[in-house]
Structure 1
Amino acid sequence: MANHRIYTMTFASVYPHYVNKAERKDRTKEEVDEIITWLTGYSQEEMEAQIEKEVTFETFFAEAPRMNDSRSLIKGVICGVRVEDIEEPLMQEIRYLDKLIDELAKGKKMEKILRE
């Protein structure tokens, strides 16, 4: 696995950017949290504990209770790369999250974002 800088960044340092991106488009922190808990299987309390512990992205995803099986339905381009074509598992998980937050900011309905 390549040693990308994002792997060692803390989830807590990026989380506010996810929230800000959503709120700038009249979406909510609660919707961001719903996306993260849907994707990772963390409860709200577990996710907040990970943020408080300032775990890295690598640890955040490694300790995720249950990655959602439906995440393989997430398709599209993020940062110029198709998420379904990313070969590194950790980078793909990070980009899945980025893609979901982008969809939220673009006004997609939660049912579509959560692949229901």
Structure 2
Amino acid sequence: MSFASVYPLYIQKAERKGRTKEEVDTVIFWLTGYDAKTLQQQIDRKSDFETFFAEAPELNPNVSKITGMICGYRIEEIEDELMRKVRYMDKLIDELAKGRAMEKILRK
């Protein structure tokens, strides 16, 4: 599945709850180390999630603080590394859509 196909869904989910595209981008930047230019390059290339995460500049060192349930799975128990990274992203977007403060989403 391409990241480019899911990215607009992340934005729609956040916007339905009164959040912004900029906040979605902030969460993605925090998690992956991408910036606006490199994120757009991934979208333009229609990178799949495996490539998206493999080429990420740096996964945030605080990802281990992202815990809990997402899609019926406990994040910290997901063994497949790629699936765990995808679920980290899903969890952060869910927290954004649920109105959680950005400071808490970014584990500050």
Is the aligned partner of 1:62 residue 2:78? no
RMSD: 0.4
Residue ranges of structure 2 left out of the alignment (5+ in a row): none
Residue 62 of structure 1, CA deviation: 0.5
SS at 1:69 equivalent: coil
Q: Where in structure 2 are the equivalents of 1:28-47 lying within 5 Å?
A: 28-47=20-39
Residue ranges of structure 1 left out of the alignment (5+ in a row): 1-8
TM-score, normalised on structure 2?
Answer: 0.99
Residue of structure 2 equivalent to 1:98: 90
Q: Would you say how many aligned residue pairs link Structure 1 and Structure 2?
A: 108
Deviating runs (4+, > 2 A) in structure 1? Answer: none
Residue of structure 2 equivalent to 1:51: 43
TM-score, normalised on structure 1?
Answer: 0.92
Residue 44 of structure 1, CA deviation: 1.1
Provide the identity percentage.
Answer: 63
Distance 1:37 1:52 in 2: 17
Query: Which string of whole-angstrom CA distances, capped at 9 and with x for unpartnered residues, describes residues 28-72 of structure 1?
Result: 000000000100001111001100110101100000000001011
